[in-house]
Amino acid sequence: MTALDNTIVNVALPQIQAELALSEADLKWVAAIYQLVLASFLLLGGHLADTAGRRATLLLGVAVFTLASAGCGTAVSGVVLIACRGLQGAGAALILPASLAVLSHDLPPRARNAAFSAMTATLASALALGPVVSGVMTQHLGWESVFVMNVPLGCVSLLVGFVVPRRGPAARSSPTPPAPLSLRVVALACCALAALAHCLIEGPENGFVSVPVATSGVIFVASAVGLSYEVTLGRNTALRLLFRQRPFVGGIITQLLWGLSVSGVYFFTSQFLQNGLGLAPTSAGLAFVPVAFSLLVAAPFIARTARRWGDGRISAVGLLMVGLGLLMVALGSSQGSLIPILPGLSTIGLGSALAVPLTTRALESSPDHLSGIAAGLFSAIREASGVVGIAFVGAMVSFVEHAATAAGSGPADAFLSGYQAGLCLASALVGSAAPIALWALRGRDGTTPYNMNTSQPGP
């Protein structure tokens, strides 16, 4: 549900705008407010998962998300729709860290790779199929259906959450002192992410020197400085404890590089398929199916492969395969048809599946009482890197496109040149994460658990 809502609304936007008489600014906020609130409140969701409990936070998030989806489906004005979309983001901010914390700490160790592979495949499927599902439902059932579909899914999720028995308390070798994240750190992180997202969303439209955007930039800088002070010099030790874990630090850096590259490529590949190859939105959405299919095919074998070859080596190979897939898409895009880029998209999906053990071990390395914060930080990095990635890769696309236009190329050829340059930049970014994966999981194999009760990873 949370992944679909990142993409499923886009195809329905023209119908929403026509029926609710929205302005261009209102329509932009309908699309942006969900990810903005989600990125801003993920750390708060992680904090609640650690203080109120992973299970309770997860069920609360599902309930909020379900009610907000019903509100979106019955909205009669743009203001109501935007407000309910923001509430959806708040519910998703509770769901994501709590669900990741459940996977990393409430499952048997041998089941975790399989669980994370299943989640990765589900997220990829939702992202790839979102435009297709939205196009079909909007055309035949109306735009309201893309929100109302979450209501039965949410009700089933709540039922499963209440029926599944609680896991007994894990045995501890020694008591773990509580080290919750202070609300001051949560507030600063929320302000920083919200201000950064606002700058990147509104800056290209209204100018980065406009008063609202410049104010957001000042808020971001001030919040980032305050957050840095809290982490390095403040008395709160939660984040400092997490950043002592080598697998966690490596996982965060890798997640950032992966998000900067792949998120930007997804955005511009959709434009290339529709504007460059002339595909309809539904057909363009179907073009991403090989990514999800490769993930689904590879997922059952990840745990066994990691146990045989080691988490670090498998994750590094996966990241290199993602980089190779991006280069294959760049090479195939010059052929003028869809077929040559499909092998590259499949390679990206397979490589992303192989990189799953890095996320598993990174989240396992966090102490049990900080599992929610760790998962929230991971999710926040993913969402923030997605927004930044579109702007970062987009800057390369725009620069090369303008240079090609100045050199006399036509609009289509200029965009293709910029798109290929963006793919090469993205490939370099994700490829640079491979040695970081080897460093983060150095000396680890797929069978050695981490010591959850110390500030350092187990031997």
| Residue 448 predicted with pLDDT over 60 | no
Q: Which residues contact 57 (CB under 8 A, 6 or more apart)?
A: 45, 48, 49, 94, 97, 98, 372
Is residue 375 very low, low, confident or very high in pLDDT (cuts 50, 70, 90)? confident
pLDDT of residue 237: 63
Percent of the chain with pLDDT over 90: 19
Which of 67-71, 160-164, 427-431 comes out lowest in average pLDDT? 160-164
Which regions of 314-406 does DSSP assign to beta strands (E)? none
Q: Is the C-alpha dihedral spanning 10, 14, 20, 24 positive or negative? A: positive
Comparing 24 with 379, the larger pLDDT belongs to 379
Treating both helix axes as pointing N-terminal to C-terminal, what angle do 371-406 and 411-431 enclose, rounded to 10 degrees? 140
Contacts of 356 by beta carbon, 8 Å cutoff, 6+ apart: 113, 116, 117, 120, 299, 302, 315, 318
CA distance 236 to 180: 8
Supply the pTM of this predicted model. Answer: 0.70
Residue recorded with tokens 């007994």: 168
Q: Find out whether 370 and 179 touch, Cβ atoms under 8 Å.
A: yes
Separation of alpha carbons 171 and 127, rounded Å: 38
Q: Give the helix ranges, DSSP H, for 259-310.
A: 264-271, 281-286, 289-309
Whole-angstrom distance, CA of residue 125 vs CA of residue 119: 10
SS3 for 67?
A: helix
In single-letter form, the type of residue at position 147 comes to F
Question: What average pLDDT does the structure give for the chain?
Answer: 79
Interacting residues of 416 by C-beta distance below 8 A, sequence separation 6+: 272, 276, 333, 334
Alpha carbon distance 98, 59 (integer Å):
9
Encode pLDDT of 272-281 as tens digits: 887 788 877 6
H/E element holding 83?
A: helix 78-105
Long-range CB pairs of 71-80 (<8 Å, 24+ gap) are 72/144, 72/147, 73/144, 73/145, 73/147, 73/148, 73/151, 74/144, 75/20, 76/20, 77/20, 78/20, 78/21, 78/22, 78/23, 78/26, 78/30
Q: What does the alpha-carbon distance between residue 321 and residue 427 come to, in Å, rounded to a whole number?
A: 10
Confidence of residue 61 (pLDDT cuts 50, 70, 90): very high
The average pLDDT across 308-315 equals 87
Look at residue 252 and tell me whether its pLDDT is greater than 80: yes
Using the structure block, give the residue that is written with the tokens 């735009």.
143
Stretch among 75-84, 173-182, 224-233, 273-282 having the lowest mean pLDDT? 173-182
Q: Which of 216-225, 348-357, 363-372, 446-455 has the lowest mean pLDDT?
A: 446-455
Q: Which amino acid is at 296?
A: L
Least confident residue range of 299-303, 320-324, 387-391, 403-407: 387-391
**pLDDT value at 178 more than 60:** no
Which CA distances in Å does 378 have to 138, 163, 249, 342, 385? Answer: 33, 28, 10, 29, 10
d(C-alpha 202, C-alpha 210), whole Å: 9
Going by the DSSP 8-state scheme, the letter that residue 457 receives in this structure is -
- The pair of structure tokens assigned to 178 is 């509580």
pLDDT in tens, 95-150: 988 888 888 777 777 777 778 777 776 776 676 677 677 777 877 888 888 899 99
> What pLDDT, on a 0 to 100 scale, did the predictor assign at position 447?
41
Tokens of 140: 């035949």
Residue whose structure tokens are 């725009």: 398
Quickly state the pLDDT bin for 64 (edges 50, 70, 90): very high
Please enumerate in sequence order all residues whose Cβ is within 8 A of that of 145, keeping only pairs 6 or more positions apart, or say none: 73, 137, 138
Residue 369 and residue 374: Cα distance in Å, rounded? 10
Neighbouring C-beta atoms of residue 277, cutoff 10 Å:
15
Distance CA 375, CA 381 (A): 10
Structure-block tokens of residue 388:
């930044």
Is the pLDDT assigned to residue 218 strictly greater than 80?
yes
